[in-house]
Amino acid sequence: MVFDGILLSLIIGFIRGGTLKGLADLSLKFGWVFPILLGIQLFVFFFQDRVAILEQFSGFLFILIYIIGMCFLWMNRENKGFTLLLIGVFLNFIVMALNGGRMPVSYEATVIALDPIYADILKEGLYGKHMMLTESTKLGFLGDVIPITSPYPKSQVISIGDIIMNIGIFIFIQHLMLRHKRRQATTKAA
């Protein structure tokens, strides 16, 4: 869902006359942290089924990645949209932390939005950083419970935290892409 939000933000930014120059000027505190966290998360995601120790500790690793990611967002909170991004990540973190480092996914939402094979995989166990939402799930309403289907081009199941994160990402990218317009307006006014 995050990548969808980034792509949508870029498209709308271009429609509004924005450019990528603002993205090139981006300077984040500890900006190197985010790509490393993304790389570790992808590594765990793809290899946890093949490496026993990763399978055993993947839930813990996902929680650790979220904690470091939230610290990164907090240190850069002066950027437009980062507060909402942090809130969304925090909501996803809470539900994952309370459920063993896994994001609970609603079976009903999965059946509506996804291939039935995905629901069967979740019933049998874990998939990536996801697990089936059950009666014993804590704060299940914060899990992936919202189905998105047509006319949206990619059917998926998302959480409240995902929605808030994407609003934050949208605001951040719009701010960067339209920075040159604000500078031009300031120059003309001076």
pLDDT band at residue 145 using 50, 70 and 90 as cut-offs: very high
Q: Is the pLDDT of residue 21 over 70?
A: yes
Q: Give 57-73 pLDDT, tens digit per residue.
A: 888 898 999 999 999 99
Mean pLDDT of 136-150: 95
Q: Give 79-134 pLDDT, tens digit per residue.
A: 999 999 999 999 999 999 999 998 999 999 998 988 888 888 888 776 678 899 99
Phi–psi pair at 145, nearest 5 degrees: -125, 0
pLDDT at 114: 86
Mean pLDDT of 10-17: 93
pTM here? 0.87
Q: Where do the structural domains in the chain lie, given as residue ranges?
A: 1-189
Using alpha carbons, list the distances in angstroms from residue 120 to 61, 111, 132, 172.
Answer: 25, 10, 10, 37
Nearest Cα neighbor of 144 from 108, 117, 90 is 108
Distance CA 14, CA 133 (A): 39
pLDDT at 143: 97
